[in-house]
Structure 1
């Protein structure tokens, strides 16, 4: 394939003679639109994101509307304040981890809302002539995601009682976040 033509093998077994990148946003380079020059989405495309659990944190944050970014910044600042209360100082890694946790909390709330709205908390599973109720598969994924948030909060020393049960910690943390968001 030369740089000035598409060069893909056409249906006659010969190199396509269209200009390189013809009909694409990369005119002059690569294949023409007839031979896959427009195929695929950009590597950081978040358009198909439903619940965000698998999202890259940086790209997820970058693509949020300004009001949601502001909410995340407030949560990160609140976490930093909590770290400062417990340790007396906040270093670079504390700031990075605080922002990551704030983004993860946003993703977790988005995933929870998605479950409640779209997939439901339970599903009917056929079982020998009847059906039984089971937790929706995405719920377990959200629980694992939340566990990673708790690990990060423990690293930061933010939770009041790191040895407490996760359920108690989750409730106190959600209350803490809601109080922070209201103020």
Structure 2
């Protein structure tokens, strides 16, 4: 098993070649050596250019508390715009056109925990929807589901009860990796 970040930077580098890259990441966006994907992407600046960062709940650096809105800022030390996708309003949960205008493609590297209530899969979903609208390719770096990726438990959320912890009907414990659930949502919804 190889982490998506490792595969992207070796076998799939061509997906980024010559592109302006956006990165949706958090502190767990690490390769198999424990190096953060942002640093690895920035080190390869001759092949592509990282032009924008996007942060989920808790922010790119993980410094914000649970359910605390995160402000967009300038990431230090890179100087890149760091757009929050976890603000005070429903609209703040999706990237806007002006944010996506800075990139040619979006790389998503988030560690999910395998449950519907975790917001990272829904942040990824909203990013995929916005990128589809503005014709920006999305690359999801897959990672193992830490609660075994096999067991599926709990009810589906019913239509009419969608929220940011359940935008689409999936079981409470969905049994998928973030790549699998992104693929499922893209195909089914």
TM over 0.5: no
Larger radius of gyration: 1
Considering fraction of residues, name the structure with more helix: 1
User: RCO (CA 8 Å, sep 6+): is it higher in 1 or 2?
Assistant: 2
Could you state the TM-score of these two structures normalised by the residue count of structure 1? 0.24
